[in-house]
A and B are shown apart, each in its own frame.
Chain A
């Protein structure tokens, strides 16, 4: 019995929900539901033989896996942290140079930075394996010139894994840094020079503080995926220095220990969320959206 104007108003109120429903359904079905399923598995007991899981409200699996794979957690933490720091150190000058001195060719330089990453993740990592292998160009050359002992190898070491991680996640560091540096108002920099700051002081007192949100965003965007990464460790790390991502993959696909794998994933998720929470706490949630 609603009159036409009321019906129109009702439709108008509904419009935002209708418009966002495809994306909402997508998120619900393909993200929220699987996430809830995974979280529920952490509390189930599964039979490795049949793959059947029964809800037993077993909260014990979470501390159990953390305890059992503590070494892998620590290894992942160190590898991801070192790779992220290497990326920050490499990216900052590049991003700074493009943002401040790229001139009209800024986009060209950015594309040059990204071109290697148009190649598939796996292929890129395999190429790293090829480069770092015992018969690869680098080691053959160095050993041939007696710069390294003949028994020296890189593949299968933590160094190779960190190098692979740093290489693969470089754009995730460089781009947020670039965005942060690019948006610094050059007039503010002129104001610093005007107020007796030389170039070094202007960098330390103006550019760097204004880049902090970008540095933090770059850190999160690099550290979180690197922390859970298993491809680099699988291809470049051999059997040594197992990372937590490899453990999760093995638990799911080889050992069929779904509860264990799900529990480890849940712990990883919590650690990542802690990082984002810390960012929002320190720098405000608004700035996250600007960089992610």
Chain B
């Protein structure tokens, strides 16, 4: 940590113990988030630059009370920096961070009603499990009997009773993770920050913990802010999520909204897989817009799923691989369906289904996932096929500017 980082926080330290009196906001704002829920965390124009390179760029975000919210993005997208600013480990270069209606932008981490589960767990190696969990309660001068009761109760929640006197270095990765979670939850914070807490666990344990974490969250009712680069993890657990890239929000909403209706080309490719084909907007017939693909085919897109501000008529039309049906080339296509012809180039059996790479006449590949529901005649490599999917499952995004692949390094 930098020396002098806390210089601006002296005002808070002066009122040690009565932090609640320090309030720079205009009082309880009581503002409503989506669905009328109360806003717990609000970021207003938050920007953080490191050596003039923006890590977080004018971020505006509202997180509702009791929500499981995820920040999702590739490494270097600014998600961890955002989390660290909310936790108080970094100060924004500009902007405001509000927690429960209170401005905490420059407040020291130990004065914030926020707790963190660190990526590496960061358990205290010199303390046993009980003392690790009791650390925050002891700092808050909770009386001994109450500490004992709450530590016991939280160990039940994370399903590790009778672990009180274990040393932390005797615990497995999964157990350490639960203790780190218990150590944060026991303080009943307004907000729990989780910084890629699963990254050190193996895949099987990770799946199990995802389900468990979600169930713990709904039981304790605390707002969770979860940072991850794993899109599957974010979708499994989140009520809402944002996809970040280069310090900006690329997409926000429920996992289903963001997945089914990606707002940008980046979201379409980062969150799950997408087939994207370049085309020109040809004409609009009420609720359906027709797009001429560069390869000569024509596709229809619901007008509501076109990007908001189109600067040119060039768009990328997308469809998710699992939305496509693959049938023999001579089959007929029903109404309100888009269709394309091609030849199966690669067919891979994955157990739960088949994955096909279908080559269009233009040379572009389209990926198709077909579920393994026991169909006797699966297309094979070299077969001519017809691909079709409902118009409503088609989306269009603005093409991404070039040079997008240059990701900044994680700070």
- A187 touching B122, Cβ below 8 Å: yes
Question: Any chain A CB within 8 A of the CB of B125?
Answer: yes
Shortest CB-to-CB span from A193 to chain B, Å, is 4
Question: Any chain B CB within 8 A of the CB of A153?
Answer: no
- A193 touching B118, Cβ below 8 Å: no
Question: Any chain B CB within 8 A of the CB of A209?
Answer: yes
A193 to chain B: closest residue by CB: B109
Shortest CB-to-CB span from A121 to chain B, Å, is 36
Shortest CB-to-CB span from B359 to chain A, Å, is 49
List residues of A (185-234) whose CB comes within 8 Å of B's CBs.
185-199, 201, 205-206, 209-210
Alpha-carbon distance A196/B125, docked complex (angstroms): 18
- A194 touching B87, Cβ below 8 Å: yes
B24-57, CB under 8 A of A: which get 1 and which 0? 0000000000000000000000000000000000
On chain B, the residues within 8 Å of A198 by CB distance are: 13, 16, 108, 110
Alpha-carbon distance A194/B140, docked complex (angstroms): 12
Number of interface residues of B (CB under 8 A): 30
Interface of A (DSSP majority class): helix
- B89 touching A190, Cβ below 8 Å: yes
Shortest CB-to-CB span from A259 to chain B, Å, is 48
On chain A, the residues within 8 Å of B139 by CB distance are: 195-197, 201
- B88 touching A193, Cβ below 8 Å: yes
On chain B, the residues within 8 Å of A17 by CB distance are: none
Q: Known contacts A195-B135, A196-B136; is A210 also within 8 Å of B88 by CB?
A: no
- A190 touching B115, Cβ below 8 Å: no
- A193 touching B108, Cβ below 8 Å: yes
Shortest CB-to-CB span from A99 to chain B, Å, is 13
- B110 touching A193, Cβ below 8 Å: yes
Q: Known contacts A185-B122, A186-B1; is A192 also within 8 Å of B108 by CB?
A: no
B119-139, CB under 8 A of A: which get 1 and which 0? 110111110000000011001
Question: Any chain B CB within 8 A of the CB of A101?
Answer: yes
Shortest CB-to-CB span from B200 to chain A, Å, is 13
Q: Known contacts A101-B3, A189-B1; is A195 also within 8 Å of B125 by CB?
A: no
Shortest CB-to-CB span from A217 to chain B, Å, is 16
List residues of B (273-295) whose CB comes within 8 Å of A's CBs.
none
B1-37, CB under 8 A of A: which get 1 and which 0? 1010010000001001000000000000000000000
- A209 touching B126, Cβ below 8 Å: yes
Alpha-carbon distance A193/B114, docked complex (angstroms): 11
List residues of B (225-269) whose CB comes within 8 Å of A's CBs.
none
Question: Any chain A CB within 8 A of the CB of B367?
Answer: no
A103 to chain B: closest residue by CB: B2
A123-159, CB under 8 A of B: which get 1 and which 0? 0000000000000000000000000000000000000
Alpha-carbon distance A187/B120, docked complex (angstroms): 8
- A210 touching B108, Cβ below 8 Å: no
On chain B, the residues within 8 Å of A205 by CB distance are: 135
Shortest CB-to-CB span from B8 to chain A, Å, is 15
Alpha-carbon distance A210/B184, docked complex (angstroms): 21
- A197 touching B126, Cβ below 8 Å: no
Alpha-carbon distance A195/B1, docked complex (angstroms): 16
Alpha-carbon distance A188/B120, docked complex (angstroms): 9
Q: Known contacts A101-B3, A191-B116; is A197 also within 8 Å of B125 by CB?
A: no
Shortest CB-to-CB span from A148 to chain B, Å, is 38
Q: Known contacts A187-B122, A209-B126; is A195 also within 8 Å of B108 by CB?
A: no
- B135 touching A197, Cβ below 8 Å: yes
B6 to chain A: closest residue by CB: A199
Question: Any chain A CB within 8 A of the CB of B187?
Answer: yes
Question: Any chain A CB within 8 A of the CB of B183?
Answer: yes
Shortest CB-to-CB span from B110 to chain A, Å, is 5
Q: Could you list some 28 contacts between A and B, CB below 8 A?
A: A101-B3, A185-B120, A185-B122, A186-B1, A187-B120, A187-B122, A190-B89, A190-B116, A190-B122, A192-B124, A192-B135, A193-B110, A194-B110, A194-B116, A194-B118, A195-B110, A195-B115, A195-B135, A195-B183, A195-B184, A195-B187, A196-B111, A196-B139, A196-B187, A197-B135, A197-B139, A201-B139, A210-B126
Given contacts A190-B89, A195-B136, A209-B126, 19 further A-B contacts (CB under 8 A): A185-B120, A185-B122, A187-B120, A190-B1, A190-B116, A190-B118, A191-B118, A193-B108, A193-B110, A195-B135, A195-B184, A196-B110, A196-B136, A196-B139, A196-B140, A198-B110, A201-B139, A205-B135, A206-B126
